Amino acid sequence: EGSNEQASSLLGFSAIPISTDDTVKIAAGYTAAVFAPWGTPLFADAPAWKTDGGGDAAAQARQVGDNHDGIHFFPIDGSSAEGLLVVNHEYTTVEGGNYIWLFGAKGGKPWTADKTAKAMNAHGVSVIHIARNSAGKWEIKPGSRYNRRITASTEMVLTGPAAGNDLLKTKADPGGTRVLGTLNNCGNGWTPWDTYLTCEENFNNYFGTTSGNDSRTAAQKRYGLAAKSSDYRWEEFVDRFDYAKEPNESNRYGWIVEIDPFDPSSTPKKRTALGRIKHENAACALSADKRVVIYMGDDQRDDYIYKFVSEGIYQEGGDNSALLDAGKLYVARFDDGRASDDFMGVGVWIPLDKTANATLAADARFASQAEILVNTRLAADAVGATKMDRPEWVSVHPASGEVYVTLTNNDKRAAPDAANPRAANIYGQIVRWREAGGDAAATSFEWDIFVLAGNPVKYTDRGDLKSGSANITAGNTFNSPDGLAFDKAGRLWIQTDGKYSNSGEYEGQGNNQMLCADPASKEIRRFFVGPRECEVTGITFTPDSKTMFINIQHPGEEGDSHWPDGGDSVPRSSTIVITKDDGGVIGS
């Protein structure tokens, strides 16, 4: 009830309760429709979805991939009725070396070359030409020249300062510039020049060795490569995923990849100037002098928040194709500038630069700036950046330029600090900052905690930090904020990827969900709840803000969902199209 006590001019809908049902729930006056689930045919010659999940590798290459995540709508000629929907396919659900659902209920045993190829084709990105039909319903245009599947085998190039560096050379690519595929495409971004940025997150999970020997380097351990076999088991059939056979292949993932969705024959570009981390998303802003600024989180317990500031200036309508190839990379330090318990402070952006940073200039582990970019995490460790509670999505307020980041949780945090104020943080928080002078290229900022997620149902003493900050109530409690995006009007949409047991520490929180916040009043209301064992992730709007697209990822990741097809069907990740029944702006 508490979530509706304060009327917010920005939030025009009534909050909904939690749900533990195997279906989607949405605020009154809205409709949520399933769109382009995993396995949907994308081309005129694409095989139909096999309802038992038994399609082969060749079929998967012509169909929508698995585990939808970041998503962006590129309007065609500014239209809100036709455009290109670009969707990330982050991963396929595996546990203990077996696949859950990719091969239907049968799992991945016995493991074969065709199953490896199917898994590789389920990854990557889909470009989907969509339009509203005469009844106003969104549909795929299956024969469109724009439709495209990018997979873990699609040819791409490395560009920028690290391209061609020895650390990026392999037997198949002695020049160190040509890579096959993109992996673990998590969150996303888009540029003012209408390109898509797909972010490679947990690339480490795809590398292992069949040799039986743990021969990992310090850098490979810092990035989390498996000591022996990987859960995905690709190394058994594709040599480049065996780090003992091809030690540099894993260095060719963990990048932000720029894609031109309007040119289906274009080669995706891995932009090394933006650093190599477990990239969550890429939030773009322009500095006061029109340089491009990209904010980025590295999603790991105790990892960091980064920003890239381009050397060149954005030219509206001009050639911006090299802007992401030259610039400065920074990592954030959050300092406790004031009283220790006020959840506010100041911060600085530390340059990860072989020349400008004396610590890195003296560090023999990095022979050049290229090596800093390949082993960005090691450089950030060396300069004293602030270890955060798993940085996920970043979003920039459309009017003020204030920057918000979800810190999803960190159950292993030992020592609290100002911006990460709880040990064993199971609920997560959203931190925001204001760049000095309101300039995205500034090297210092002020920050505060927008919301400390918590559970006042379980922890009724509001002095206990586990109950959450004052804007958390029994009516809007959630855990593990992850997806995050502002709409044009400045509403902040918050998506969760957390525990859905609805018991114990998570009592009263239900399935994963999407909430909406007013940045000024800090009020938060629940708008949408997903089906069982899913996360809610990815968000984009048509230019008129009247259609919202989000994704349901990994429904039934532990086996308990048959969404969206029902019965005893194989659960499928899917996009959800949200419209307001009166045709109005979403959230208004």
Given the rule CB under 5 A, which residues bind Ca ion? 392, 482, 497
Sites of contact with ligand FEO (CB under 6 A): 90, 186, 201, 280, 299, 392
CB 268 within 8 A of CB 154: yes
Structure tokens at 14: 């009534």
Interacting partner of 201 out of Ca ion, ligand FEO, none (Cβ under 5 to 8 A depending on kind): ligand FEO
Closest to Ca ion by CB, 278 vs 291, is 278
Output 371 or 392, the one with its CB closest to Ca ion. Answer: 392
* CB-nearer residue toward Ca ion: 66 or 497: 497
Measured at the CA of 378, the angle between CA 277 and CA 401, to 5 degrees, comes to 50
Q: How many CB atoms lie within 10 A of CB 221?
A: 12
Reported for 578-581, long-range contacts at CB under 8 A and 24+ positions apart, including other chains, are 578/26, 578/30, 578/31, 578/32, 578/33, 578/528, 578/547, 578/548, 578/549, 578/550, 579/30, 579/31, 579/33, 579/546, 579/547, 579/548, 580/29, 580/30, 580/31, 580/546, 581/29, 581/30, 581/31
Residue in the block written with tokens 């260095």: 251
Nearer to ligand FEO, 242 or 299 (CB): 299
Q: Tell me the closest approach of the beta carbon of residue 405 to Ca ion, in angstroms.
A: 12
* Cα–Cα distance, 25 to 34 (Å, whole number): 12
Output 484 or 577, the one with its CB closest to ligand FEO: 484
Alpha helices in 47-102 (DSSP H): 57-61
Residue whose CB is less far from ligand FEO, 170 or 553: 553
DSSP reduced 3-state for 380: helix
CB of 475 to ligand FEO, least distance (A): 27
Residue sitting closest to Ca ion (CB) = 497
List the beta strands (DSSP E) in 77-184. 82-89, 94-95, 98-99, 102-105, 124-132, 138-140, 148-150, 155-159, 178-180
Query: Residue 184 region, left (φ>0) first, then alpha (ψ -120 to 50), else beta?
Result: left
Question: Closer CB to ligand FEO, residue 204 or residue 357?
Answer: 204
Q: Least distance (Å) from ligand FEO to the CB of residue 72?
A: 16
Instruction: Quote the least distance from Cβ 303 to ligand FEO, whole Å.
Output: 10
Among ligand FEO, Ca ion, none, the one that 246 touches (CB under a kind-dependent 5 to 8 A) is none
Residue 399 to residue 490: CA distance in whole angstroms: 7
Q: Which of Ca ion, ligand FEO, none interacts with 66 (beta carbon under 5 to 8 A by kind)?
A: none
Q: 305 vs 373, which CB is nearer to Ca ion?
A: 305
User: In the complex with ligand FEO, which residue's Cβ is closer, 246 or 392?
Assistant: 392
**Binding partner at 260 among Ca ion, ligand FEO, none, C-beta below 5 to 8 Å by kind:** none
Structure tokens at 245: 């056979």
Instruction: Report helix, strand or coil for 220.
Output: helix
Shortest approach of ligand FEO to residue 4 CB, angstroms?
A: 30
With CB under 5 to 8 Å by kind, the binding choice for 325 among ligand FEO, Ca ion, none is: none
Candidates 348, 344, 351; CA nearest to 436 is: 348
CA distance 373 to 377: 9
- Closest separation between CB of residue 298 and ligand FEO, Å? 9
Alpha-carbon span 141 to 85, nearest angstrom:
11
Phi, psi of 494 (to 5 degrees): -120, 125
CB of 298 to Ca ion, least distance (A): 12
Structure tokens at 38: 């995993």
Residue 242's binding partner among Ca ion, ligand FEO, none (Cβ under 5 to 8 angstroms by kind) is none
Shortest separation between residue 280's beta carbon and ligand FEO, angstroms: 5
Q: How far is the CB of 279 from ligand FEO (least distance, A)?
A: 9
Contact 364, 382 (CB under 8 A): no
* Nearest-approach distance from CB 536 to Ca ion, in angstroms: 10
Closer CB to ligand FEO, 299 or 487, in the complex = 299
